Structure 1
Amino acid sequence: MKKKISNFKFLISNYIRHPLFSGSAIMIFGTNLANFIAYIYHLAFGRILGPNEYGELATIITLIGLLTSFYSFTSMVIIKVVSASEDKEVTGFFRFLNKYLSKIGLIVAVIIFLASPLIASFIHIDLIKVSLIGPIFYFMLLGFVYKTFLQGLLRFTKIVIVTNLEMIGRLVLGLLFAYLGLSVFGGVSGILVTVILIFFLARYYLKDITSRLTFSQYKPGKELFKLSAPLVISSIAMNFFFSNDLVLVKHYFTTSEAGFYAAMATLGKIIFYGTGPVGAVMFPMISKRHSKSQGYRKIFLLSLFLTIAIASFVLLIYYFFPEMAVKLLYGVKYLYVSQYIFTFGLYMATFTTATLFLSYFLSIGKGKVAYAMVAASVLQVIGIIRFHENITSVIKVLLVLSLSLLLFLIIYYIYSKEFRKK
């Protein structure tokens, strides 16, 4: 009996000491602290602005998220290259990316700025508020690349510091500008100033990489394209699937309904952001072990367990205490959405689990599954355009597609001989 207890304690100790567990613990704590600050941000602006203006701010933030999807694909590419490279190679890769992405980012930011009148007209928001999206895009691009290098180097503590300071900056500066009478424009301005400051902080944390004089010149070839293509496709499709609904709801629904939907979506996304750090730690670890022909199956299964456990905990709260969850974050004005948050949370839980499977496949070079995410994203747009009678119909479209995607990925995992051997 004592031997069994001793073995059990040893097993638990090994799991706690596992790099996935420790790295996930840091990322979960830090990221959820940042998410908590972000929810205070949404709570504060939701109450200060009311459903109509809050719907505008949430839509602009969602649009920024959609635009970042056009460069967020670089995260998986950077992590995969950095996690499998030596120090000198990392510096060469950094200089290559910094040189080209800064130029490309500037061009895209100018295009976004010039397109601001069209964007403002489509989402029915004043031009002056939309015009800040271009500059925000540019500095978020560079800051994002630097933060992703930190992740690829497994510097999770520094990522947590940067992420939390960014959320604090958005909250404090946004509320300050709103207090000065700038309303929605103040919230967007707070984001712009913050991302500029975070850009410099993230660069400082990479000074050992950026200042290294001896490095291997990075020359992209067919191998980079082969590596990047599925990561690019899946990342863009994933971000679109995650954000399309809010933009389409803002287009088809009334301003008030869009504001309620934005609040519901924010509550549902607690599941995605709460479990996201697990995948963020898993991807570079499996990528590194795969590049060295080491086992990684246990890492994935542990990641899957943690993801499902966290998602299930939040879902139980939404099922038994929906009104309390809404009141806690948004107040009584938003109680209308309490009837929807469990179903929306179920959609978000299935989508989050599906993205973990997708990240796993991509980390070991199985890029063909990216097209499943593309198909789901396209069908999502078609589904919402076809079925948008009310909030329930939109949620049904999202839930059916996320369940179908997850089922496909599970079947792909089970019937792949290579994965069963690992």
Structure 2
Amino acid sequence: MTTFSILAKKISPQQWFLVSTLVVNAGNYLYNLILGRMLGPEAFAEAALMVTLLLVLSFVGMTFQVTVAKFTAAFEPENRQAVIDTINRYAFILGLAFGVAVFISAPWLQQFFNTQEPLMFRVFGVGIPVYFLMSVNRGRYQGLQEFTKLSFSYQSEMWGRLIITLMALILIPAGHGVLVAIGIVVSLFLGLFPLKGLKLFRTGSRDLEITYKKQIRNFIAVTAFYELTQILINNSDILLVKSYFEAEQAGLYASLALIGRVVYFVAWMFVMLLLPEVVNAKREGKDTTKLLMKYVGYVGVLSLFIVGCCVAFPKLIISLLFGDAYLSMAGMLWQYALATSLFAIANIFTYYFLSIDRYKPIWFSAFFGLSQVVLIMNFHDNLAMVVQVQLLAMVALLITQLIYYKQYSIRWN
């Protein structure tokens, strides 16, 4: 037996997924760092816009993924395929509608975001239905805790986007936004694999009972609302900065956001593990608060380490990652990292309550996400002010989540 085979047996699928997620996050970071260095602040702002738009649409994609994950974990095996078939149809129809809307509105999007051409938005619109179907497929593997297959989907998407985009930029040194959009769309097709049982209009399949369909529709509505609040918190700043500031300033801010969000991207892998574990523990009548505290501890330690590094070595971090052209952002780095860390911890609490069908924390995120947008719209004299109003909103969000958790614990213990 080889050393690799022995090691593979000792490492659990969850541990493989954690390692794979770290590799994916590192690859996505490398992708953005290379773009930042190759293109410079002004052109990087346009490339970062495409990536940000994908993250904006993730509120729908993640809604489908989380819904499939929850109900495949909660339902008996005979109902699982019917759940997946139903949500696949929802995903395809909605994805087609979103894609057509983006394609048609490309000239308006070009004007609003001050980009070079509308073609980048049309290319992006083509990939939206694929993204939603990919999310459903990932939800299946997440809910069944088939983390090896889930890891493969994330790996193929990341490596495809990295390799295809960089090759295109090297071979075709023009139309950066369009080339980035093409790389994203092709990577979404690659992320569909491993694909199992994609039949949008399956004949002769088991149909869900009306009660189950109602549960799924209600959960989709609640989750979509929450995912939208995450988008407001996590991406509205980049979009608003792109609209309010010149291209160079927007590119500088995009680099700051990319570094500061490392906590959120790494914390997301813990959310992926948390949801099915909590659902299963609740179904078995076990205490779920220990699981919550375990993952809050992981994210808290990670946040402390990253914010500490940003306080101690801001110029070194920015210089190594993006180059000296971005050094003007050094003074704001720790503030942005702290704001993201607070949001990441608050997000763990919200997903925990979502897993046990407690939806009030979603309204907290909605309120503070909207508050963040309003604050940026009214206070954007400079980039430092944009960062500071976000920090204020995230402090208030986490305090609110902690107060609610304390009240919930007293009530149920």
Query: Is the TM-score greater than 0.5?
Result: yes
- Tell me the equivalent position of 1:16: none
Distance apart, 1:22 and its partner CA? 5.4
Does 2:18 align with 1:38? no
8 A Cα contact 1:358 1:370, kept in partner: yes
* Worse-superposed segment, 264-273 or 86-95: 86-95
What CA distance in whole angstroms lies between the structure 1 residues aligned with 2:144 and 2:203? 19
Does 2:353 align with 1:361? yes
CA change 1:96–1:319 in 2 (3 A) is same
Distance apart, 1:207 and its partner CA? 5.0
- Tell me the equivalent position of 1:80: 70
- Tell me the equivalent position of 2:158: 167
What CA distance in whole angstroms lies between the structure 2 residues aligned with 1:46 and 1:262? 9
Give the unaligned 5+ runs of structure 2.
Answer: 1-10
- Tell me the equivalent position of 2:181: 188
Superposed CA deviations along residues 293-318 of structure 1, whole A, max 9, x for unmatched, are: 22212111111111101111111211
Amino acid across the alignment from 2:313: F
Superposed CA deviations along residues 338-377 of structure 1, whole A, max 9, x for unmatched, are: 2111110000000000000101111111012211111111
Q: Give the number of equivalent residue pairs.
A: 397
What CA distance in whole angstroms lies between the structure 2 residues aligned with 1:221 and 1:194? 32
Q: How does 1:188-207 map to 2 (within 5 A)?
A: 188-199=181-192, 201-203=193-195, 206-207=196-197
Does 2:268 align with 1:252? no
What CA distance in whole angstroms lies between the structure 2 residues aligned with 1:26 and 1:325? 28
Amino acid across the alignment from 1:141: F
What CA distance in whole angstroms lies between the structure 1 residues aligned with 2:292 and 2:106? 42
Does 2:136 align with 1:145? yes
Q: How does 1:87-166 map to 2 (within 5 A)?
A: 87-125=77-115, 126-166=117-157
What CA distance in whole angstroms lies between the structure 2 residues aligned with 1:22 and 1:315? 30
Distance apart, 1:215 and its partner CA? 6.3
Does 2:359 align with 1:338? no
* Worse-superposed segment, 42-51 or 190-199: 190-199
Give the unaligned 5+ runs of structure 1.
Answer: 1-20
- Tell me the equivalent position of 2:3: none
What CA distance in whole angstroms lies between the structure 1 residues aligned with 2:72 and 2:411? 24
* Worse-superposed segment, 378-387 or 314-323: 314-323
Amino acid across the alignment from 2:114: H
- Tell me the equivalent position of 1:348: 340
- Tell me the equivalent position of 1:291: 283
8 A Cα contact 2:13 2:146, kept in partner: no
Superposed CA deviations along residues 149-186 of structure 1, whole A, max 9, x for unmatched, are: 11111111222222122111111100111112243322
8 A Cα contact 2:50 2:177, kept in partner: no
- Tell me the equivalent position of 1:18: none
Q: How does 1:5-84 map to 2 (within 5 A)?
A: 25-84=15-74
TM-score between both structures, scaled by the size of structure 2: 0.91
Amino acid across the alignment from 2:217: F
Superposed CA deviations along residues 367-405 of structure 1, whole A, max 9, x for unmatched, are: 122111111111111100100011111111111111101
Distance apart, 1:289 and its partner CA? 1.6
Amino acid across the alignment from 1:154: Q
Q: How does 1:309-328 map to 2 (within 5 A)?
A: 309-328=301-320
What root-mean-square deviation, in Å, do the aligned CA atoms of Structure 1 and Structure 2 show? Answer: 2.1
CA change 1:419–1:115 in 2 (3 A) is farther
Amino acid across the alignment from 1:374: A
